[in-house]
């Protein structure tokens, strides 16, 4: 399996073609190299100059289908006697998905690539020996949810991440997302569960509304921006992180997560607690991740604790 992309240096692979800073390799200065001119950008064509082994390309859209879908695609090519696969990648998200898929395969595979893919090898290949983490996305700021989260504060193995809401209004959304997702990746490597919350107490939310007003946003617009951001975070984790399950508090968060994943809905299988359903998002790439939803003002003080215990043990 060949994955040459190195996004940090502007090297990307699209439809099997290698680009350097958005220019086809064969159109760069290496075309005129006096000793070894490169006149071809299509990687399978370059490979075919050296071997007659059957090769194929897994394109960008297929990678975005997620870990399990990518595993199925690779296995289909193996069944079709393809011996060399070139896989597209434009950024780190795709490289992370590829590494995750390769780590989940039992087949013997030789991986060739650059530092781009190598960066994610330890995260995923070593992670197979560590239990999968669970994630709580706490978008609700109801008193009930805040008390339920407070009930978990003594759980030393749970990593709590507070969103810096004002950054979402001041042009810092991308950096804030990168900060949170870096913490999530580190926690997943260690097998620690994660809570991502929009507020520790009601005062935090009022400060968020004030920050929004400074950016000429009303309370509804602030709430929508926060819900959308949490939905994006949740979707990125589901697509790229190695997790067992996720709790989404608040209907807006579940809806925004589904929108970000571009899935039509949630398949409900059962209840963890009365009125707190469990299921999975209705997409093949997401079906192995347990999804639990809870209305913000719903449940007893220990409800989130019990949900997390269920995700850890599978016992109600």
Whether residue 121 is found in the same domain as residue 186: no
Q: CATH code at 19? A: 3.40.50.10840
Output Rg (C-alpha) for the chain, integer angstroms. 22
How much is the mean pLDDT over the chain?
89
Residues 190 and 288 in one domain: yes
Q: Of 83, 103, 126, which residue constitutes the final position of a domain?
A: 126
Claim to verify: residue 33 and residue 71 sit in the same structural domain: yes
pLDDT at 285 over 80: no
Going by pLDDT thresholds of 50, 70 and 90, the confidence category of residue 198 is confident
Shared domain for 108 and 136, answered yes or no, is no
Instruction: Kindly state whether residues 227 and 267 are assigned to the same domain.
Output: yes
CA distance 238 to 184: 11
Same domain, 198 and 304: yes
Q: What residue ranges in the chain does DSSP mark as E strands?
A: 2-3, 11-14, 17-20, 23-24, 55-58, 84-87, 112-113, 133-138, 158-162, 193-197, 243-249, 266-273, 276-281, 290-294
Same-domain pairing of 237 and 284:
yes
Cα distances from 195 to residues 38, 171, 264, 295, in angstroms, run: 50, 24, 25, 16
Of 126, 152, 179, which residue constitutes the final position of a domain?
126
Are 30 and 119 contained in the same domain? yes
Could you list the residue range(s) of the whole structural domain that residue 289 is in? 131-313
**Mean local confidence (pLDDT), 81-106:** 93
pLDDT at 261 over 80: yes
Question: Which of the residue ranges 12-16, 90-94, 160-164, 189-193 would you say has the lowest mean pLDDT?
Answer: 189-193
Res 129 pLDDT > 60: no
Could you say which of 92, 126, 160 is where a domain stops?
126
CB 136 within 8 A of CB 194: yes
Number of structural domains, the chain?
Answer: 2
The answer on 286 and 171 residing in a single domain is yes
Most confident of 10-19, 97-106, 238-247: 10-19
Is 116 in the same domain as 229?
A: no
Q: Kindly state the tokens that stand for 225.
A: 């921006």
Percent of the chain with pLDDT over 90: 57
pTM of the complete model beyond 0.85: no
- Residue 1 above 70 pLDDT? yes
Residue 203's CATH number: 3.40.980.20
State whether 136 and 116 are in the same domain: no
pLDDT, greater one: 139 or 23: 23
Q: What is the pLDDT of residue 166?
A: 85
The predicted structure's pLDDT at residue 286: 82
pLDDT above 60: residue 58:
yes
Q: Are 127 and 188 in contact (CB under 8 A)?
A: yes
Same domain, 272 and 224: yes
Task: Give the model confidence (pLDDT) of 19-57 as tens digits.
Answer: 999 999 999 998 988 888 889 999 999 999 999 999 999
SS3 290: strand
């Amino acid at each position: 399996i060949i994955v040459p992309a190195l996004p940090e240096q502007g090297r990307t692979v699209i439809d099997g073609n290698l680009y350097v800073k958005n220019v086809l390799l064969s159109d760069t200065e290496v075309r005129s190299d006096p000793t070894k001119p490169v006149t071809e950008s299509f990687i399978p064509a370059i490979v075919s100059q050296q071997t007659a082994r059957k090769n194929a390309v897994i394109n960008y859209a297929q990678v975005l289908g997620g870990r399990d879908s990518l595993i199925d695609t690779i296995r289909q090519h193996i069944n079709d006697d393809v011996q060399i696969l070139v896989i597209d990648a434009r950024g780190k998200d795709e490289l992370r998905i590829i590494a995750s898929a390769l780590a989940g395969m039992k087949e013997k595979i030789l991986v060739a690539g650059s530092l781009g893919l190598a960066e994610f090898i330890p995260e995923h290949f070593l992670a197979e020996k560590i239990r999968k983490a669970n994630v709580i996305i706490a978008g609700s700021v109801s008193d009930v949810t805040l008390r339920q989260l407070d009930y978990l504060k003594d759980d030393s193995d749970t990593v709590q991440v507070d969103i810096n809401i004002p950054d979402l209004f001041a042009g810092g959304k991308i950096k804030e997302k990168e900060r949170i997702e870096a913490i999530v990746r580190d926690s997943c490597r260690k097998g620690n569960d994660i809570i991502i919350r929009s507020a520790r107490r009601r005062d935090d939310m009022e400060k968020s509304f004030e920050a929004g007003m400074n950016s000429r946003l009303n309370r509804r617009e602030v709430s929508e921006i926060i819900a959308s951001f949490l939905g994006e975070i949740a979707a990125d984790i589901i697509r790229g992180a190695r997790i067992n399950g996720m709790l989404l508090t608040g209907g807006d968060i579940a809806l925004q997560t589904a929108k970000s994943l571009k899935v039509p809905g949630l398949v409900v299988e059962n209840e963890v607690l009365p009125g707190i359903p469990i299921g999975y998002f209705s997409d093949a790439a997401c079906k192995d991740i347990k999804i639990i939803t809870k209305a913000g003002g719903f449940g007893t003080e220990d409800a989130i604790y019990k949900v997390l215990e269920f995700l850890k043990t599978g016992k109600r």
